[in-house]
Amino acid sequence: MRDFPSCFGENGVQIADSSSSYTSKTAQNLVSCVYKCRLSDISCLITITWTKNLMGQGLSVQIDDSTNQSLSKFDVKPWLFSKRKGSKNLEINSCPIDIHWDLSSAKFGSGPEPLEGFYLAVVCDQEIVLLIGDLRKEAYKRIDANPNPSKAIFVSKRENIFGKKFYGARAQFFEKGQTHSVSIECDTAGSNDPSLVIRVDSKTVMQVQQLRWKFRGNHTILVDGLPVEVLWDVHNWLFGNVVGDAVFMFQTCHSSDKYLWSSSKSISDQSILGWSCSQRVRDTELLGPGFSLILCAWKNE
């Protein structure tokens, strides 16, 4: 493991803020996915955010350019989400943008993100620049656009997960890799020496003892035979004045010396909660291509 100052020193990035006022009661059930795309001649990032709360389920589509400027944002509120299908017309730099979605047959699990039976498409000048979901054939039939496959790249996913001791999520780390189950086990209640265990498909891939001394760190694991850098910050769980979240990041990269957080990138006074997914993607492009899975784990009271 690399020494802590090089990862989380004053020139590094704090991935959790112990003064955060968030609690598991106010944390939203949320999944955000970021895709790198091109709108006409503009390189951009499209963030699809799925939410679920007492009012129902919601959806938002945000488009940012490469300079972190918001080009457009569209929200499907819970009372509109119930209609399950629809479209929205936008315009960016005089270029027509159409957003189409159909969730009328969508199946959901416990989270806000649909599992199957849906599609969501972003169309620019009659070209599909982003298409997600399994109903791709239906999307091509219903959308007036050229049937060329989307060239969007899935670059980042952030998810809020909840539990008391066990936390779980599913993710595909590599484009042609399998979808894996990721589980995090950490019991900080009534233990003088808590430990952290991370498993992929029920197989233990890393374990951290003496967690009170190693509440932040990083470690490399292998998934699909390829390296994945795991970074964790459980400071809020152990020392926070309020109930906060722990943050875990799984970062794929093509070189072992390329890390998301390092002393070579100075981003002061930023926490992972306040740093948008699209901002994280932009700042990691210089460090090499890859996929980032950010899990914000909240303890249920």
Domain extents in the chain: 4-26+156-299, 32-154
Interatomic CA distance for residues 235 and 297, integer angstroms: 12
pLDDT number for residue 25: 58
pLDDT number for residue 166: 94
If we measure between CA atoms, which residue out of 132, 138, 134 comes closest to residue 150?
132
The model's pLDDT over 252-264, given as tens digits with 9 standing for 90+, comes to 965 433 444 333 3
pLDDT number for residue 185: 95
Residue 269 has pLDDT above 50, yes or no: no
Please state, for a pLDDT cut of 70, what percent of the chain lies above it.
74
Mean pLDDT comparison of 99-108, 241-250, 255-264, highest-scoring range: 99-108
Strand order of the sheet with strand 292-299? 70-76, 56-65, 42-53, 29-39, 153-163, 292-299, 245-252, 226-233, 216-223
Task: Between 166 and 13, name the one with better pLDDT.
Answer: 166
The model's pLDDT over 109-120, given as tens digits with 9 standing for 90+, comes to 888 999 999 999
Q: What is the pTM of this model?
A: 0.80
Average pLDDT value for residue range 74-89: 77
Residue 289 has pLDDT above 60, yes or no: no
Average pLDDT value for residue range 181-207: 89
pLDDT number for residue 243: 62
